[in-house]
Chains A and B, each alone.
Chain A
């Protein structure tokens, strides 16, 4: 059946608004602050036969974009093997090897029947504050097995005939640290899906099942067409980029990743051959999360394409089995965020030379967390706090990089300092922009952030980060950003953990603390082409030092005005021109002498790239 242009637009809008409505309901009703405060959830409507995405909420987290489709497909498969979907079912699973991400991301799937026939599936994902395992919060830097990371729930029925299955709920709440919170989240997640079902029925009542079904097929087809039109604009060719994780949290060895992107007409093939084998530690991605991460990168490059099953039909993958990006049971996955970030950067790095006007330099790249937990003496309860990494975004053809960004796969925020000090027995010493940390370029990478806190009652802390040794890269002649730095302060001593940015369960006594400096974003274009007024402003703001301005940006300061603590810089135009010419010639000479340097750090003389 074909439907007219008006009906398609209207039904499409209605399906998207159903998803938005479910997102909104869950965000308001969830108890886990990570859902309610940072929107760490997503909702979608899925095809009853293929499980493909039909529509998704516009508020939900990007990383779940494709993962949920895989989860729905896995649940559908399991249901088909156990008597089929039944009215009144609610399925639950957090199996990362089926759907993706990590154990804390729990999925619910419900069937919607129309006239006795399965019409669509609705699903949501919510990030639970705790899922058991050896570290509260679920990020386990030294895990070597999934069971250290918490409770693995295979696809099972959480509700039958519309009634909750008490035994399943008891098993779940009996295995988590915050059972009341988790029970509340379960209630909120199932209510949101129930509302979605009501709304979808309303739509079917109004337009008829056949019309809605035809619209859904058409929406998928149109997204594919749209995506293809963008891919066709990328010059055909093979684009390669390589990067690495510092280590796996257990063994101090880097773990390399590589992609070769082949553009041919309106098809895109991503071949990850050359990527290192799965390590012992938790820095792993299940295959489906790798695919989802690549989709996130493409969606950031082509933000106008609507997301559904059709959007990514033109994209195919080769992902080597047994590699760090195709983890299988029982490989641990709680460090997945770091690997997701690296896959996104691989896609950016590969496509940056092909479509320089669309692709930014690398973002801060470490998307992990600092976790604290312990007893709060004032509140009389066990508390868990999660501080995700903020950092700079990469510069682009159109602008400098933003500061204090949230990772591309996330929309999660950083807790308010004042709220954190109410909820946790610690005090922040500072919380600031990190000077001189943005990758230099014609447009400058955003600077990273730096903060420190001190415990005033005993606490346990864990850190799971990366990008200390392998820093965010610049593109098209831009330089790299400063890397990640983590320091602990215990017993009056300040020290760097052996794996630099990964440590599990450090005990903090009152007066002990943690210092974190996050990476900036990579630079874009030659820093010697940065407009003078931009460098002068960077100097006035203190985000670029005098040394770097002279050595990397090649500017000459003519004089300063104003209070000594806030000098305003006047640049010498002629002197700068001369100095920049000198630096260019020196660079040419170095290149002529065959100085072997990584492409990314080529534009930078003093502040070299990879260590």
Chain B
């Protein structure tokens, strides 16, 4: 295997990780992102790292282009064609509101009402045609739509998951009318029931398709101009990659691909040192992203809310985001209670200590005041200017006055509040899935993750904290390890007894065939292909389903048994005698790009060399003389005790008093309560 480059384009920085022939990462770096044309930063990063582009075997890329287009509503103008009587499904949603409390605000549908059209046709829940498609009407409609000046046509008809023929036919009519239109069929994007979620997902795909296809073409040209010989791969939100030439048709699949890449890297790094149950915590300037990995598989979420009434029903690595980052602002509410966030100082004006005009105290300011961040060597800042410690102290001093606290106490209070908030979310998402967080290892990354992770270790009760060697650019590294991945689902909605002979097997085998065909079309070199089958099951009448790994040839009894044991684990009690329903059949087809890494050996323990520096750092109400290590000097097997600070170019790790750290065989820091 030749050398590889992973590049993750984030909102603020574009990160690069370059691995040599043996798969070991040799170079990492960060350059500022270029939001007007993200590919410019990609080329800049390649250039600055001195990557031998023609010699690359693969270039894998994570991007925020799709996410931003949805948030900023800069996607294509689309028309929506629905079953007569149902054009408003996209705007109505499912009867809800923006916030639990407060009744103001409105939604902004991706396709407004004057671009939504209807056609006479109707299929029932079993896929039987109730009203045949009026083909002439559809053709006349195509003419009207053509006059309205859209670029994309999204066709979403009722029950199309059960019978795709009407949707296919309408799509053909529109494609024939205007060959330059992008035409999206809802059943081709997600073949499941729930008309609003399916229509919305198809709308997201249509809305993004021209933009993403255009970006892919431009990026391909630019990379070819610097000599890339292989097709670039792009990270998807399910943790798999897709060749850039096919990106347009997968536009809805690359939402939040960067965070997914980080989880993939964390999963892989943890597995190499023997951990398969992990919680990942990625903390940056504005947000904290948490995900759960069980048995080496990141938890997948079926539906993600991209905005109010914009659900995306596509399997994505389930990354929960809360507004807790270095820039989160601390304030005292009217009741006199200290709060942190959700408001953030962002990059501008930023924390007080950044000297960019910020006046309100932030989490980063608290870390500076307490000596956890080295004010002389700020991360991700190329101005060379030291941080404004006095400014940060002043802001926290004012906050402290309102609370009856001194400066350091106020800073500690800010950290306690933000840590409680993050810990609560970590607990909730593990408990939500029926797990006990105490059985997990926390993998911390992102610029601020390792600063807070030791405190989270205590609050959540996890046993071990793992800080990867290049934790500040882990998402770029995640691009390197990802496989090709295609997921399929189909609504079945039958009790296990009601399934016909081999009915499920036929669905699985069709999905498997589709996935293998995609892998062939991708043309990537693979070491092996994995095909996994799952069934989403529930007790009859129950809404929340549990996904269970199944074999395609299982009979009713085997399916029901697998479900009841999964249910027992998740809820503590199985319900005897209730019929079991198979809601969706799912297949995941994965093309594995590289062999499994050798498990790491445990290096013999040895003491770390004396720290290069010591400085006072505030812990638990007192200044402690604290060892400060450079990450580079800490080799496998070395151990040291907290309190300690470990500094590297892309992040800072805090080891609290009463904790012990050790460097493992893959150069991760492992921290535990001593």
B95 x A412 contact (CB < 8 A):
yes
Closest Cβ of chain A to B298, distance in Å, is: 20
Q: Which of A87-119 contact B (CB under 8 A)?
A: none
Return the chain B residue nearest A226 by Cβ. B335
Cβ-based interface call for A341 (8 A): no
Closest Cβ of chain B to A599, distance in Å, is: 21
User: Chain A residues near B195 (CB, 8 Å)?
Assistant: 416-418
A9 x B337 contact (CB < 8 A):
yes
B106 x A399 contact (CB < 8 A):
yes
User: Chain B residues near A417 (CB, 8 Å)?
Assistant: 86, 89, 158, 195
User: Chain A residues near B197 (CB, 8 Å)?
Assistant: 416
Known contacts being A402-B105, A406-B97, is A9 close to B335, with CB within 8 Å? no
B94 x A432 contact (CB < 8 A):
no
From B84, B93, B193, B417, give the contact of A10 (CB < 8 A).
B417
Cβ-based interface call for B578 (8 A): yes
Closest Cβ of chain B to A141, distance in Å, is: 21
Known contacts being A300-B101, A399-B106, A404-B91, is A33 close to B541, with CB within 8 Å? yes
Cβ-based interface call for B113 (8 A): yes
Q: Which of B524-561 contact A (CB under 8 A)?
A: 539-544
Return the chain A residue nearest B192 by Cβ. A418
Q: Beta-carbon contacts of A166-193 to B below 8 Å, as 1s and 0s?
A: 0000000000000011001001100100
B96 x A8 contact (CB < 8 A):
no
Cβ-based interface call for B420 (8 A): yes
User: Chain B residues near A540 (CB, 8 Å)?
Assistant: 114
Q: Beta-carbon contacts of B434-456 to A below 8 Å, as 1s and 0s?
A: 00000000000000000000000
A10 x B416 contact (CB < 8 A):
yes
Cβ-based interface call for A543 (8 A): yes
User: Chain B residues near A6 (CB, 8 Å)?
Assistant: 338, 409, 412-413, 416-417
Closest Cβ of chain B to A519, distance in Å, is: 14
From A9, A59, A394, A399, give the contact of B338 (CB < 8 A).
A9
Instruction: Count contacts on A: residues with CB < 8 A to the other chain.
Output: 92
A5 x B413 contact (CB < 8 A):
yes
Q: Beta-carbon contacts of B315-339 to A below 8 Å, as 1s and 0s?
A: 0000000000000000001111111
Cβ-based interface call for A225 (8 A): yes
From B97, B403, B578, give the contact of A180 (CB < 8 A).
B578
Return the chain B residue nearest A13 by Cβ. B420
Q: Which of B78-107 contact A (CB under 8 A)?
A: 84-89, 91-107
User: Chain A residues near B431 (CB, 8 Å)?
Assistant: 21, 24-25, 195
Closest Cβ of chain B to A588, distance in Å, is: 31
Q: Which of B16-31 contact A (CB under 8 A)?
A: none
B98 x A402 contact (CB < 8 A):
yes
Cβ-based interface call for B521 (8 A): no
Closest Cβ of chain A to B98, distance in Å, is: 7
Q: How far is the CA of A430 from the CA of B118 in the complex (A)?
A: 11
User: Chain A residues near B541 (CB, 8 Å)?
Assistant: 31, 33, 181
* Residue with the highest number of chain B CB atoms closer than 10 Å, among A4, A31, A181: A31
User: Chain B residues near A16 (CB, 8 Å)?
Assistant: 424
Cβ-based interface call for B428 (8 A): yes
Cβ-based interface call for B71 (8 A): no
Q: How far is the CA of A523 from the CA of B640 in the complex (A)?
A: 67
Closest Cβ of chain A to B268, distance in Å, is: 29
Closest Cβ of chain A to B389, distance in Å, is: 22
Closest Cβ of chain A to B429, distance in Å, is: 9
Return the chain B residue nearest A59 by Cβ. B100
Closest Cβ of chain A to B73, distance in Å, is: 15
Return the chain A residue nearest B546 by Cβ. A28
Cβ-based interface call for A478 (8 A): no
Cβ-based interface call for B194 (8 A): yes
Known contacts being A24-B431, A225-B334, A303-B99, is A390 close to B92, with CB within 8 Å? yes
B101 x A191 contact (CB < 8 A):
no
From A229, A304, A563, give the contact of B144 (CB < 8 A).
A563
From A13, A230, A429, A566, give the contact of B148 (CB < 8 A).
A566
* Residue with the highest number of chain A CB atoms closer than 10 Å, among B86, B95, B106, B405: B95
Q: How far is the CA of A463 from the CA of B573 in the complex (A)?
A: 37
User: Chain A residues near B334 (CB, 8 Å)?
Assistant: 225-226, 229-230, 304-305
Cβ-based interface call for B112 (8 A): yes
Cβ-based interface call for B674 (8 A): no
Q: How far is the CA of A390 from the CA of B91 in the complex (A)?
A: 13
User: Chain B residues near A30 (CB, 8 Å)?
Assistant: 542
* Residue with the highest number of chain A CB atoms closer than 10 Å, among B125, B572, B577: B125
Return the chain A residue nearest B84 by Cβ. A430
Return the chain A residue nearest B93 by Cβ. A404
Q: Beta-carbon contacts of A350-377 to B below 8 Å, as 1s and 0s?
A: 0000000000100100000000000000
Known contacts being A28-B432, A222-B337, A398-B104, is A418 close to B412, with CB within 8 Å? no
Q: Which of A399-432 contact B (CB under 8 A)?
A: 399-406, 408, 411-414, 416-419, 421-422, 427-432
Known contacts being A226-B334, A404-B93, is A563 close to B148, with CB within 8 Å? yes
Cβ-based interface call for A133 (8 A): no
Q: Beta-carbon contacts of A304-346 to B below 8 Å, as 1s and 0s?
A: 1110000000000000000000000000000000000000000
A28 x B571 contact (CB < 8 A):
yes
Q: How far is the CA of A36 from the CA of B539 in the complex (A)?
A: 12
Closest Cβ of chain A to B306, distance in Å, is: 18
A433 x B113 contact (CB < 8 A):
yes
User: Chain A residues near B428 (CB, 8 Å)?
Assistant: 17, 20-21, 24
Known contacts being A31-B541, A191-B571, is A405 close to B96, with CB within 8 Å? yes
Closest Cβ of chain A to B339, distance in Å, is: 8
A396 x B104 contact (CB < 8 A):
yes
User: Chain A residues near B147 (CB, 8 Å)?
Assistant: 562-563
Q: Beta-carbon contacts of A531-545 to B below 8 Å, as 1s and 0s?
A: 000000000111100
Cβ-based interface call for B605 (8 A): no
Q: How far is the CA of A449 from the CA of B95 in the complex (A)?
A: 10
From B106, B159, B424, B427, give the contact of A401 (CB < 8 A).
B106
- 16 inter-chain pairs at a CB distance below 8 angstroms, sorted by A residue, are A5-B337, A5-B403, A13-B417, A13-B424, A17-B427, A31-B539, A31-B575, A33-B543, A184-B539, A223-B335, A224-B335, A363-B103, A403-B107, A422-B493, A431-B85, A432-B92
